[in-house]
């Protein structure tokens, strides 16, 4: 049961006193009498004292009456009317224009309306939290959610695939449990730890696991919650958050999406950022100013570290940056074990095989994969989730939902079949490329009319020049197949051309793989921060002549890739034709059903 605030109890007492005072009016031994009797009492000389308040007359008797009353009240009647009534001998009296209920409402209703309007305004201004003291009175209070130490049920056992990050964070747990042990030799724990990594890799889960392992209060907030339309509100919320944290130390403050709060100051010369900069300045002051003996650990997470203000990342604030990257194959197996432990699996499910099908998947992607497989198995009425359900779930996540209602005309289906078969044959003819798992001409997703699925046999972190050129040739395989069946090429290769162009530009501008331009990084690509407003002020780092050479080099690489794909398909024209016809008839081919081309001829 929630406790009423003191101010609410005070209001209730005040209203009760008002009601009692109104209801008790007319008490104290006064009896109401008709106005005609009042006049008779005056004529008889029995009235000792009279008090007139508007139309109400209160008086006292000279002698106490038989019934014990000592006074009376009456309502005045107009003089001319009273005179006429007195002549007739009729008893006459007056009553108030409003009865007791009207009097009560007249006294109570205006204050109640005022209080109600004030409470309503406070409720809406506080974003629906309501109550006395809300609204503008609480706009500077922190909106961080406090989770008690006993309520955090997440531990490091619930986090898989990020072993290095867990090892880094074990020190934080030990410090929060035994802060004196760390101070024995004069060492102190880092003030802040920044979790960096792509979306869905488990940064927030790691922060909750640290709180669960340490058994301390956990303040959870988001960088966007500090920023409001009122100047100074964000800074006030930062101050309030740290004040609460000091009272509950040792504790953890977790700020998710730190880039919303910690964006580099002065990054945008076009628009003013006064409120955001004041909020960031207050955060910097709090992180640099709180007592080292106070056991407060600040965890933050971001997937855009390149846009953070350098003052946040200096020593003394976020001392450590912990990378929470996409898991490798071993990590994906561990994550799958966590997400599949409560699911009913068929005997043919192989976690290693599923991990091999999901390169580049994050922890969130793998959780979605497990759910999609379970949904598919339920939909087909199975007793357990089979390997085919996982394969179909991977296909759905990567390529999108099947669109069988999207019916293509025969000519378009033929172009799509040759296009996808061209990709597959070029990929299988070039040694060292990722193996082709499946070809389909069933439309999927928003715009895909078909797809060729390749899965790498191992995780890769570096790629050589020959591998990049092979990948461009595979991307050009669809356009090459359309060229062979002519006479026109379609728009189906638009996405392939964009990806191939990105690879070619990277080889020329960043990797120094063009012999004519030499080993020079013409574009260091400093991150997405350069693509934001204000980035166009950055001067170009090469001349117009070099720009023409770069365009020529990129065009040469793409043309060479197209010619390579054309040469492979010409050597396998019969396989291309028969494979496309088979694909038209069956709509999808997988594994050994895909025809095998002759290997690529050596160059020269």
**Prior bond to 595 cis, omega within 30?**
no
Coil, strand, or helix at residue 213? helix
Is residue 101 exposed (0-12), middle (13-18) or buried (19+ Cβ within 10 Å)? Answer: exposed
Three-class secondary structure of residue 389 per DSSP: helix
Q: Which residues are catalytic?
A: 420
Tokens of 294: 């106070």
CA separation for the pair 536, 308 (Å, rounded): 19
Rounded to 10 deg, the angle between the 573-586 and 477-485 helix axes is 100
58/72 Cα distance (integer angstroms): 6
- The edge-to-edge listing of strands for the beta sheet with 47-53 is 30-32, 71-75, 56-61, 47-53
Residue 490: exposure state from Cβ atoms within 10 A (0-12, 13-18, ≥19):
middle
Retrieve residue 430's tokens: 């070039």
Q: Residues within the annotated binding site?
A: 197-204, 419, 423, 496
Q: Tell me the binding residues for ATP.
A: 197-204
Q: Which residues contact 319 (CB under 8 A, 6 or more apart)?
A: 190, 191, 192, 193
* Residue that the structure tokens 């301390």 belong to: 216
Structure tokens at 473: 């040739």
* Non-local CB neighbours of 414 within 8 Å, separated by 6+ positions: 485, 580, 584
Report the candidate in 297, 342, 289 with the shortest Cα–Cα distance to residue 320: 297
- The alpha carbon dihedral of 591, 597, 598, 603 has a sign of negative
Q: Are 261 and 301 in contact (CB under 8 A)?
A: no
- Could you tell me how many residues make up the chain? 604
Distance CA 382, CA 18 (A): 71
Cα R_g (the chain), whole angstroms: 41
> What 3-state class would DSSP assign to 441?
coil
Place of tokens 């880039």: 259
Are the beta carbons of 505 and 554 closer than 8 angstroms?
Answer: yes
Burial class of 196 by CB neighbour count within 10 A (0 to 12, 13 to 18, 19+):
buried
């Amino acid at each position: 049961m929630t406790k009423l605030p003191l101010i609410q109890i005070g209001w209730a007492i005040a209203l009760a006193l008002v009601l009692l005072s109104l209801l008790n009016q007319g008490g104290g031994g006064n009896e109401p009498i008709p106005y005609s009797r009042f006049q008779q009492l005056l004529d008889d000389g029995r009235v000792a004292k009279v008090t007139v308040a508007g139309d109400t007359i209160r008086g006292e008797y000279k002698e106490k009456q038989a019934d014990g009353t000592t006074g009376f009240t009456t309502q005045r009647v107009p003089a001319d009317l009273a005179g006429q009534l007195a002549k007739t001998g009729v008893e006459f009296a007056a009553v108030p224009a409003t009865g007791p209920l009207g009097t009560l409402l007249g006294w109570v209703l205006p204050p109640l309306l005022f209080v109600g309007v004030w409470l309503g305004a406070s409720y809406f201004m506080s974003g629906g939290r309501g109550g006395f003291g809300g609204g503008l009175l609480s706009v500077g209070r922190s909106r961080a959610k406090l989770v008690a130490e006993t309520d955090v049920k997440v531990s490091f056992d619930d986090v898989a695939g990020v072993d290095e990050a867990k090892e880094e964070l074990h020190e934080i747990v030990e410090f929060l449990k035994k802060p004196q042990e760390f101070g024995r030799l004069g060492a102190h724990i880092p003030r802040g730890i920044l979790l960096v990594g792509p979306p869905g890799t488990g940064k927030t889960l790691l922060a909750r696991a640290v709180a669960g392992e340490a058994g301390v209060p956990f303040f959870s907030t988001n960088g966007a919650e500090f920023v409001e339309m009122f100047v100074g509100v964000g800074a006030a919320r930062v101050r309030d958050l740290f004040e609460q944290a000091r009272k509950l130390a040792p504790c953890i403050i977790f700020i998710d999406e730190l880039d919303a709060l910690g964006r580099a100051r002065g990054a945008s010369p076009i628009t003013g950022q006064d409120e955001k900069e004041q909020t960031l300045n207050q955060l910097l002051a709090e992180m640099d100013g709180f007592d080292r003996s106070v056991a407060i650990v600040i965890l933050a997470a971001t997937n855009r570290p390149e846009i953070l203000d350098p003052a946040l990342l200096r020593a003394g604030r976020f001392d450590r940056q912990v990378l929470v990257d996409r898991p490798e194959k071993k990590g994906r197996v561990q994550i799958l074990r966590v997400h599949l432990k409560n699911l009913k699996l068929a005997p043919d499910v192989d976690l290693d095989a599923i991990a091999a099908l999901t390169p580049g998947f994050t922890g969130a992607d793998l959780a979605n994969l497990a759910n999609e497989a379970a949904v598919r198995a339920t939909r087909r009425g199975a007793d357990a989730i089979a390997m085919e359900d996982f394969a179909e779930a991977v296909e759905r996540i990567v390529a999108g939902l099947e669109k069988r209602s999207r019916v293509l005309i025969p000519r378009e289906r033929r172009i799509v079949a040759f296009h996808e078969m061209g990709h597959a044959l070029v990929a299988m003819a070039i040694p060292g490329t990722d193996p082709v798992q499946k070809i389909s001409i069933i439309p999927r997703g928003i715009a895909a009319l078909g797809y060729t699925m390749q899965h790498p046999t191992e995780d890769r972190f570096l790629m050589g020049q020959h591998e990049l050129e092979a990948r461009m040739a595979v991307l050009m395989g669809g356009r090459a197949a359309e060229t062979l069946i002519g006479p026109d090429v379609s728009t189906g290769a638009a996405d392939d051309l964009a990806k191939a162009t990105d690879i070619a530009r990277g080889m020329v501008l960043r990797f120094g793989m063009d012999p004519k331009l030499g080993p020079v990084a013409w574009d260091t690509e400093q991150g997405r921060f350069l693509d934001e407003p204000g980035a166009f002020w950055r001067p170009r780092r090469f001349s117009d002549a070099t720009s023409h050479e770069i365009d020529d080099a990129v065009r040469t690489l793409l043309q060479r890739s197209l010619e390579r794909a054309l040469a492979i398909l010409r050597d396998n024209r019969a396989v291309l034709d028969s494979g496309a016809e088979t694909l038209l008839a069956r709509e999808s081919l997988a594994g050994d059903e895909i025809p095998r081309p002759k290997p690529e001829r050596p160059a020269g």
